[in-house]
Amino acid sequence: MEKIYVCKELHTRMQKLARQYPQFIHLDVIGSSHDGREIFSLTMGNPRKVLFCTAGIHGRESINPIILIQIMEEYARAYQQKLPIQGQTDTVYELLREYGICFVPLVNPDGYEIASRGFSQIQNPKLRQELQLQDIPAKEWKCNARGVDINRNFPCQSYRPQSSGDSPASEKETKALIHLFHSCDSVGYIDFHSRGKIIYYYRQAMSGAYNQYSRKLAKYLQGLSNYEIGGADSEFYTPYSGGNSVNYYSEVLKKPALTVETVEETASFPLHTKYRKETYEEIHAIPLGILSQIADAAEGLL
């Protein structure tokens, strides 16, 4: 639990998982970063009707990527042994026969490498040179290798340019995720971040009925994680906080899109490995839990 994983090791671990369980796990490369790192997705169960789970959009939020991989490993074992996950009545096998989970544990591999190991990890000399002119210390780096915050880059109603010359979906990482969202049918989306143990469900651009349903799901996740629920007034920190992946997904796909923020708000960056075990316990039942709720809703049980 103490190890700091480099990007390549995370990829190796996902490749191993896909090799170990080829009957129900599928590994894909969904795109690459501006510094040439591959972005991987791993789909478990039915690939035609998935829940998307992403992490690592912000470089410095460095513990969620490995935790998502550990969650996949736990689910894969439970699937094979036909066991339930904590708090669930369905077995992983039953649920993932009908639905799938598509994990993208590290959307922003360049940002992750910068925050964990410094600007020197960027191989493209031009990008590296520009990064070194920035005022922000590497360990607090949220953006990609071009200095763009991917979570402000999605085309949607709340998109605002962060600086002159900014345009929506300008980044390769953003495009990869958008392409993935449209590559198969999906039932919902959870994006994991690390700022204050809170679940945000409210989407300003969406209808009352949409938000009511999302709130029900958030309440259920609160029961699993003990996290707070962010109210309707807390969707954005500032008027410039829009353009998130969850805004895009909700507006275009019109399915629930929740943000789950792990780790206490005062934690410093990059996140200490001591948070890993506790965070894992808090969130490991979330992807399967939300899927069981969505399955119940589809059968009219919710």
**Contact between 283 and 13 (Cβ < 8 Å):** no
Question: Which position among 11, 37, 58, 284 is part of the footprint of Zn ion (CB under 5 A)?
Answer: 58
Q: How far is CA 10 from CA 6, 15, 146, 294, in A?
A: 7, 9, 22, 29
Nearer to Zn ion, 146 or 193 (CB): 193
Shortest Cβ 100–Zn ion spacing (Å): 25
Q: Which of residues 66-125 bind Zn ion (CB under 5 A)?
A: none
Please identify, among the stretches 60-68, 220-228, 239-247, 279-287, the one whose residues bind Zn ion according to the rule CB under 5 A: 60-68
Torsion sign over Cα 235, 108, 53, 86: negative
Shortest Cβ 233–Zn ion spacing (Å): 19
Question: Helical H runs in 57-197?
Answer: 64-80, 92-98, 109-117, 125-132, 172-181
Question: Which position among 193, 203, 215, 255 is part of the footprint of Zn ion (CB under 5 A)?
Answer: 193
Q: Is 98 helix (H, G, I), strand (E, B) or coil?
A: helix
Q: What is the DSSP letter of 5?
A: P
Rounded Cα distance, 102 and 129, in Å: 35
Binding residue count for Zn ion, defined by CB under 5 A: 3
Nearer to Zn ion, 193 or 215 (CB): 193
Nearer to Zn ion, 11 or 58 (CB): 58
Nearer to Zn ion, 57 or 294 (CB): 57
Which residue from 179, 177, 127 is spatially nearest to 150, judged by alpha carbons?
Answer: 177
**Contact between 177 and 40 (Cβ < 8 Å):** no
Please identify, among the stretches 15-23, 189-197, 208-216, 221-229, the one whose residues bind Zn ion according to the rule CB under 5 A: 189-197
Shortest Cβ 298–Zn ion spacing (Å): 30
Nearer to Zn ion, 61 or 173 (CB): 61
**Contact between 161 and 177 (Cβ < 8 Å):** no
Question: What is the crossing angle of helices 7-20 and 109-117, to 10°?
Answer: 130
Please identify, among the stretches 61-69, 127-135, 239-247, 270-278, the one whose residues bind Zn ion according to the rule CB under 5 A: 61-69
Q: Which of residues 282-301 bind Zn ion (CB under 5 A)?
A: none
Nearer to Zn ion, 123 or 240 (CB): 240
Shortest Cβ 84–Zn ion spacing (Å): 31
Is 60 a binder of Zn ion (CB under 5 A)? no
3-state secondary structure 233-244: HHCCCCCCCCCC
Please identify, among the stretches 58-66, 119-127, 249-257, 266-274, the one whose residues bind Zn ion according to the rule CB under 5 A: 58-66
Nearer to Zn ion, 43 or 54 (CB): 54
Tell me how crowded residue 156 is: count the other CB atoms within 10 A of its CB: 19
Shortest Cβ 195–Zn ion spacing (Å): 6
Query: What residue ranges bind Zn ion (CB under 5 A)?
Result: 58, 61, 193
